[in-house]
Chain A
């Protein structure tokens, strides 16, 4: 950024900072130009041409996302010709689009639809040739409908620039262009890690999660089954947005009440099993630390990260904690301990999880998680799917009177709540590990250096005779950077938290679409969602996982001791190298 210069917009002078693009400058002085391919966190593509302006002295329209401002530049944003040109461009997109808005998942929350309205497409002049592609339903997590794709390329840039996975790119040319995986293979057999960040930046419904709502509604009407649901921390921090509430509204109790209204017999909290994760992971860490085990230990909660590591970094697999994720730990306990306790057949228990995450759908299908051949989580739905189900069942989430979680897996510590935001798992682990190792209580339990949205966060904690260096990464691109550091200097860190999604679970691939005020990845939006979790943490009297009395009871009655043989059978898993086609290069650009 440089000096202040003057540009003339629609015949009025405005002082703006030099060095930025016309679009950036106009955004700040109150002109929001239409846009489809542009995203502030991604590189500039200049593909959709929606953001064109007229610049005096230029023969052609100028794309404001690529052109920089200059002293004395005369810009018009809303002439009759421009309005017509923009409308023509948009109409061309609509000509080959299915325009099946009534039956589309993103009806009412689609950038293409919104633009058609605001730009003023009133009559459709032409019916263009439509694309005829098969919908890719191969993946248990992500669905791709190339017919709805407008080729903005945001998903490609997200996948390569932020996530460094490079699962998709443009193929063919002209009208035949589509976004596909390498060799046009089904998503299921590609290197896609199911993080779902592409879904969040897609302006249309070309990418979405695989829906399990119909199946779940059917199961809910089965009176013979014991229907149990768990909800992840991040769900309560964002679901209100899908009902028009201000981001940052805590919807925990209302969500519990609506889940009962939907027909669930028990509503449990994934935060309970997050506490359980801390016990297992904390002891696993202390065990590695004191017995010369493999360090740094890396967290295992994020299923997309696990698939990424299995594909691209199998050398790091021994470093990853063997703990199942909190979701799978809850389901493990439900199908073993809980089933026995209530005298039910585990096969008669329907274990449903509401997650901010798309990759959890994939995780739920992993064979190695099963206990004695019994599957754990039967159905995983995203926050978005739950919001739709609530609306579809005619339940009023906003004015529903809040209710509490069911006993006995509804009680959790504040440490478990912050699992939903980047740095949270590490903070929770340190709160307990410190005490369990040193034998004294930590005075200041809020680790501010682990909070916030910096890509890589580091901290150093003195634990008795040991100096523990920890790091936190969110977004696979940052995770990759940390792995590079570890490769250079294996003893630099002892404990690392990795979350696949930028911001952590609050920005998961299954969270409500950002509204009109915000765009996906907007830090203010993420901060508001995070603040919900930090507030809940602060409001609790028990803020350390190992102090959760229900956890203590579970160990006494069933699991015996953390990291013991029993808990290893029930709560731990294993990883193996995966080599889908196209995994030869790990994407460091």
Chain B
């Protein structure tokens, strides 16, 4: 199968999923009040919230696009830009910070070639900062998706990224 075609189908699948979720909510009598959970679902499905998705939600829930845009930009959890397969959250909380997490962050920036809250061109990595992940005893720490990486050094960081890159054969670059 042609690669582009596969991507297309993938996208339609996602839209179907979202619309189904909205229909379920509406079936239970929720309309405008379902916005937050619909946005969470949309981000879960797509990884980010695009203008097209906002227009779709606007139509389904009867909420003006300007208002949805307001909600999406109000909450830090939502992102309007595509994010990577691996979300790297470096802890900059006090304990990690005094134990050198700033150096870890800088190393990551250097290795990945991106700044904070940016995503690599191949859509593999997104770099974010968090303020205390609650495991100060393991500091400095970072999380990649749901996994915690402890007692980091710059050397370790380079190794981790290298492994993830090798592990990841599927490139997400064109899906969205």
Chain A residues engaging chain B, CB cutoff 8 angstroms: 160, 166-173, 180-184, 191, 581-582, 584-585, 587-588
Contact = CB atoms under 8 A, between A and B. Distances in A.
Nearest to A170: B70
A584 B62 CA distance: 9
A189 to B, nearest CB: 12
B55 A584 contact: yes
B55 A168 contact: no
B90 interface: no
Instruction: With a 10 A CB-CB cut-off, give which of B51, B59, B62, B74 has the most chain A CB atoms.
Output: B74
B63 interface: yes
A182 B74 contact: no
A287 B51 CA distance: 45
Contact of A183 (B54, B56, B74): B54
B73 A182 contact: no
11 contacts: A160-B64, A169-B64, A171-B73, A173-B74, A191-B66, A581-B51, A581-B55, A582-B58, A584-B55, A584-B65, A585-B62
Nearest to B72: A171
B58 A172 contact: no
A183 B69 contact: yes
Contacts of B69: 169, 171, 180, 182-184
B106 interface: no
Given A171-B69, A171-B70, 7 more contacts: A166-B64, A167-B66, A170-B74, A173-B73, A182-B51, A183-B54, A582-B65
Nearest to B76: A173
Nearest to B62: A585
Contact of B58 (A160, A171, A585): A585
B173 interface: no
Contacts of B58: 582, 584-585
What 10 A-B pairs come out closest when comparing CB atoms? A166-B64, A582-B65, A182-B65, A169-B70, A169-B66, A182-B66, A171-B73, A585-B58, A584-B59, A584-B55
B67 interface: yes
Contacts of B51: 182-183, 581
A587 B58 CA distance: 10
A478 B6 CA distance: 48
A571 to B, nearest CB: 36
Interface in B12-42: none
Contacts of B64: 160, 166, 169, 182, 582, 585, 587
Contacts of B65: 166, 182-183, 191, 581-582, 584-585
Contacts of A172: 73-74
A562 to B, nearest CB: 41
A587 B63 CA distance: 7
Question: Which among A168, A181, A582 has the greatest number of chain B C-beta atoms within 10 A?
Answer: A582
A582 to B, nearest CB: 4
Interface residues of B, number: 17
B63 A585 contact: yes
Nearest to B64: A166
Contacts of B67: 166, 169
Contact of B54 (A160, A180, A182, A588): A182
B151 to A, nearest CB: 34
Nearest to B63: A585
A172 B51 CA distance: 16
Contacts of A191: 65-66
Interface in B41-87: 51, 54-56, 58-59, 62-70, 73-74
A191 B67 CA distance: 13
A168 B73 CA distance: 13
Contacts of A582: 55, 58, 64-66
A184 B74 CA distance: 13
Contact of A181 (B54, B63, B66): B66
Contacts of A588: 62
Nearest to B75: A173
B168 to A, nearest CB: 31
B26 to A, nearest CB: 15
A183 B52 CA distance: 10
Contacts of B59: 584-585
B74 A168 contact: no
A588 B64 CA distance: 9
Nearest to A585: B58
Nearest to A177: B74
Nearest to A588: B62
Contacts of A166: 64-67
Contacts of B70: 169-171
Nearest to B68: A182
Interface in B78-115: none
Most buried by A among B55, B62, B64, B73: B64
Contacts of A167: 66
Nearest to A178: B73
A335 B65 CA distance: 41
A191 B58 CA distance: 14
Most A C-beta atoms less than 10 A away, residue of B58, B63, B68, B69: B69
A166 B58 CA distance: 12
A584 B59 CA distance: 6
B82 to A, nearest CB: 15
A331 B66 CA distance: 36
A172 B67 CA distance: 11
